[in-house]
Chains A and B, each alone.
Chain A
Amino acid sequence: MNRDNSYAGVMARKNQIMKHAVGMDYAEFEKDGIVFDYEEMMRKTGYSLDQVRAIERNGNVGETPIYALKNLTKLARIIGGKGKGARIFLKDEAANPSGSFKARRAAVSVYHAKKLGYKGVIAATSGNYGAAVASQAAMQGLKCIIIQECYDSEEKGQPEIIEKARKCEAYGAEVIQLTVGPELFYTFLKTLEDTGYFNASLYTPFGIAGVETLGYEIATWFREHESRDPDMVIVTNAGGGNLTGTARGLLKAGAKDTTIVGASVDLKGLHMASDGQFNRKSFTTGHTGFGVPFATNPDRSDVPRSAARPLRYMDRYVTVSQGEVFYMTEALAMVEGLERGPAGNTAITAAFCLASQMDDDQMIVVQETEYTGAGKHVAAQLTFAKENGIRVERGNPIDQIPGKNIILPEHPSLIQVKELEMDRLRKSYLKHVWKETFTDEEIKYIAAETKMTIETVHNMIHALQQEGGV
């Protein structure tokens, strides 16, 4: 068969390749205009919470421990002053088979692929998800290919990503490593077409349903041990699936009053597709380079409609700097006896700051940790940063410039989150779906997509029209 394998040729077959590779037809959920029936998609194509729990139990995933971080709580109370300092809790997702919460998403995706009769699974990811899919594929007897963006044009690789490649290969996966560029998607499509394998995307309903158990486990644990729901759950945010799934699980358990906060590492100013800037960042995930664009335009993912829609659930979105996360990673090891990977500690860094501002009878939960090791360790990352010309210094993190320096806070009281304005993110979402006029159904849809009331949506549309800036 003579297929056009040029970039344009493969991209033109995107929809048909995807349809075959995900085993579902998204058209069914498309309604008039911009509307698509998200809940119907989750209901019809996903699994019930009980089914997901059974699938995960069978894959040795989930039911991870929750720890009270007594020393970091004490520190937050010293810094917060009288009456301040919420208790900080940590869900140790590093205890999953592949070392991160991503095992939850992978367990369901791989189970689903097997049920549909696919011989193998493919995932495009440089992160923990690759290891998770490879691990579950090994367990469930499917073949696995992981496609990574890994090197700059001089074949200099992010140590963290190289470690993930090692882990995937340890589980018997084929790992395709690429230089920087969004055409990873081209290689991904071509490989899906060549193999006929399942697209174990992070953004299918199965992947998101897999994270719902995380939120559910948090809610049930707190009811059992603390007799009430936590006041705040904080989630490291990149593509939005972690936040979406966790929030949905909390809601399914009835924890309606828990505030959901997203946290990302601030990498403002660095272009994610730039060859020269690729190795000037120390965080390959959990950063604003994914977090903001995926929140404001979720359907930019590798499936026609993403099941990760964080703006539907997010109450606040905060950022922290690379140096602050490295400080907190060291703190977690030095005073809590927990050595965990840096990227997963983004949320705990923000939680520490937020805890010091909350009342001391409140509870905040960091819902994730990840494994650490060669390549994905503070020392490995900082050594790599120095090799790439980044200054590492002590000072006030407020002076950080991503890609230029990493500032380790002189004192823990200097760890301060930056608040991203939710209304700005919502406005940006609105610009992505902008039309001349919106029907009532579309307004209702936008309200659900952005956690706004119908009235606020109308007001925002009006304000944008006044600005004439769309």
Chain B
Amino acid sequence: MARKGDWIRISNTVLEPHQRAEHLPEDTKKCPLTMWVKGFLLDEEAKINDTVTIRTYIGRELQGTLVAINPSYQHTYGAYVPELSYIGHQLRDILGGDHHE
């Protein structure tokens, strides 16, 4: 449950598939154009999937469906990539032991 003032993320359909531009690739044309934006909840309280109003960080009021409360960033440096491990050694070998001089 989100309460007034909580930092939340909302989502909206901007254009339904039939409202989209012409000359789109087939796969894109089948999907709605969707948007996400974050802000502080203006309603007293709300739960996921409720239609809510937010005030964005710069103060605009926008409406949409609540999709996340206290949204955080989940992107990382990825997994270890073993395919990359030869590069440093290879270059240091070619340059020779004194490459750092």
User: A interface vs B, CB < 8 Å?
Assistant: 6-7, 71, 74-75, 78, 120, 143-145, 150-151, 153, 155, 159, 162-163, 166, 169, 172-183, 186-187, 194-195, 271, 273-276, 326-327, 330-331, 333-335, 374-375, 377-384, 392-394, 408, 411-412
Cβ contact within 8 Å between A335 and B95: yes
Name which residue of chain B comes closest to A328, CB basis: B87
14 further A-B pairs in the complex, CB-CB below 8 A; given A173-B57, A177-B35:
A75-B95, A151-B36, A166-B73, A169-B57, A174-B39, A176-B35, A179-B32, A179-B33, A181-B20, A187-B14, A275-B25, A335-B99, A382-B83, A393-B83
User: B interface vs A, CB < 8 Å?
Assistant: 14-15, 19-21, 24-25, 27-28, 30-39, 56-60, 73, 75-81, 83-84, 86-88, 90-92, 94-95, 99-100
Cβ contact within 8 Å between B27 and A274: yes
19 A–B contacts from the bound complex (CB under 8 Å)? A143-B59, A151-B34, A174-B60, A179-B34, A182-B24, A183-B33, A187-B14, A187-B35, A275-B25, A275-B28, A327-B87, A331-B91, A334-B91, A379-B84, A382-B84, A383-B81, A408-B83, A408-B84, A412-B94
Cβ contact within 8 Å between B77 and A166: no
B28, B31, B38, B83: the one within 8 Å of A175 (CB): B38
Cβ contact within 8 Å between A183 and B21: yes
CA of A195 to CA of B60 in the docked complex: distance in angstroms?
A: 9
Known: A6-B19, A182-B21, A186-B14. A145 touches B58 (CB 8 A): yes
Which of B36, B76, B88, B92 is packed against the most chain A CB atoms within 10 Å?
B36
CA of A155 to CA of B36 in the docked complex: distance in angstroms?
A: 10
A151: chain B residues at CB < 8 Å are 34, 36
A145: chain B residues at CB < 8 Å are 58, 60
Cβ contact within 8 Å between A383 and B58: no
A330: chain B residues at CB < 8 Å are 84, 87-88
B59: chain A residues at CB < 8 Å are 143
Known: A71-B95, A176-B35, A180-B28. A186 touches B15 (CB 8 A): yes
A181: chain B residues at CB < 8 Å are 20-21, 24, 28, 33
Cβ contact within 8 Å between B94 and A178: no
A183 CB to closest chain B CB, in angstroms? 5
B99 CB to closest chain A CB, in angstroms? 5
Which of B30, B56, B57, B87 is packed against the most chain A CB atoms within 10 Å?
B87
CA of A335 to CA of B92 in the docked complex: distance in angstroms?
A: 7
CA of A176 to CA of B11 in the docked complex: distance in angstroms?
A: 10
A144: chain B residues at CB < 8 Å are 58
A67 CB to closest chain B CB, in angstroms? 15
Cβ contact within 8 Å between A392 and B91: no
A176: chain B residues at CB < 8 Å are 35-37
CA of A143 to CA of B28 in the docked complex: distance in angstroms?
A: 32
Cβ contact within 8 Å between B37 and A74: no
Cβ contact within 8 Å between A411 and B14: no
Name which residue of chain B comes closest to A178, CB basis: B35
CA of A393 to CA of B19 in the docked complex: distance in angstroms?
A: 42
B81: chain A residues at CB < 8 Å are 378-379, 382-383, 392
Known: A187-B14, A334-B88, A392-B81. A374 touches B31 (CB 8 A): no
Known: A181-B33, A393-B83. A380 touches B75 (CB 8 A): yes
Cβ contact within 8 Å between B83 and A179: no
Cβ contact within 8 Å between A7 and B20: yes
A74: chain B residues at CB < 8 Å are 95, 99
Cβ contact within 8 Å between A331 and B87: yes
Name which residue of chain B comes closest to A165, CB basis: B73
Cβ contact within 8 Å between A159 and B94: no
CA of A374 to CA of B72 in the docked complex: distance in angstroms?
A: 14
A182: chain B residues at CB < 8 Å are 21, 24
Name which residue of chain B comes closest to A153, CB basis: B31
Name which residue of chain A comes closest to B56, CB basis: A174
Name which residue of chain A comes closest to B80, CB basis: A379
B57: chain A residues at CB < 8 Å are 169, 172-174
B88: chain A residues at CB < 8 Å are 330, 333-335
A187: chain B residues at CB < 8 Å are 14, 33, 35
Cβ contact within 8 Å between B91 and A412: yes
A174 CB to closest chain B CB, in angstroms? 4
A180: chain B residues at CB < 8 Å are 28, 31
CA of A382 to CA of B84 in the docked complex: distance in angstroms?
A: 10
Cβ contact within 8 Å between A75 and B25: no
